[in-house]
Structure 1
């Protein structure tokens, strides 16, 4: 594997890689059920989230840096994805859980190929993997913008 990953993402990757292909899909479905709900301030304001165009399903994300009582450089990722799109929802959940709580520099250091390292390339279509890569890229772009604006 490439660069040193933050522990949260390394643990998620390792959890997937310890499983068979079939069990990896099951774990992805479990992640889809665990997508954190939007914070109350964003509920009903989904128009403030960015659409991830790389995803076939309607996925929307936003990040905050140093908001809601967090330290100034702590990132939180929020996402919505329909329950009818469990693969995409699972990818959003992996990133939301794996990136939230990291510092901006840790998020920006995550390799863009991280989605390729969790062992799902044979289990899901390349288009879906591309969607997760796109999600990560948009998160990193939003973090860079938030850091520049601070």
Structure 2
């Protein structure tokens, strides 16, 4: 198992900052979550109930060489949006094989445990688990 280059770069970004700066970086990611494309409606997406805030995801693996990910989370849920944006920026466009190779606990390398509750971290873990479940199906 290994962390693909785009996701490893994000992990390195978080490793370069300490304490509350990690939270600031997470908030920056939350503002970078792309909007849903017009043809995709939240109602057609899978909910991730493990997240403390409403989060929906879509995994398009029609081309297993380039998986497309979409996430939807409300603006008033910056932590959840930040996690979704990290996964989007780190995994979107990669192959199914690369995504399946991401360690399930890669998020611990972000060093957010001191600034984000374990329940919120569990939400990020659940997002990755659901993406992988789609890819295995």
Query: TM-score, structure 2 length as denominator?
Result: 0.95
**Counterpart in the other structure of 2:129:** 137
Count residues in correspondence. Answer: 137
Bigger Cα Rg: 1
1:58, 1:81 within 8 Å by CA — same for their partners in 2? Answer: yes
Moved over 2 A (4+): none
- Per the TM alignment, residue 73 of structure 1 is displaced from its structure 2 partner at its CA by 2.1
**Counterpart in the other structure of 1:26:** 24
Equivalent of residue 87 in structure 1, options 79, 89, 93: 79
The two structures, once aligned, show a CA RMSD in angstroms of 1.1
1:16, 1:118 within 8 Å by CA — same for their partners in 2? Answer: yes
**Counterpart in the other structure of 1:99:** 91
- Per the TM alignment, residue 72 of structure 1 is displaced from its structure 2 partner at its CA by 4.6
Query: TM-score, structure 1 length as denominator?
Result: 0.87
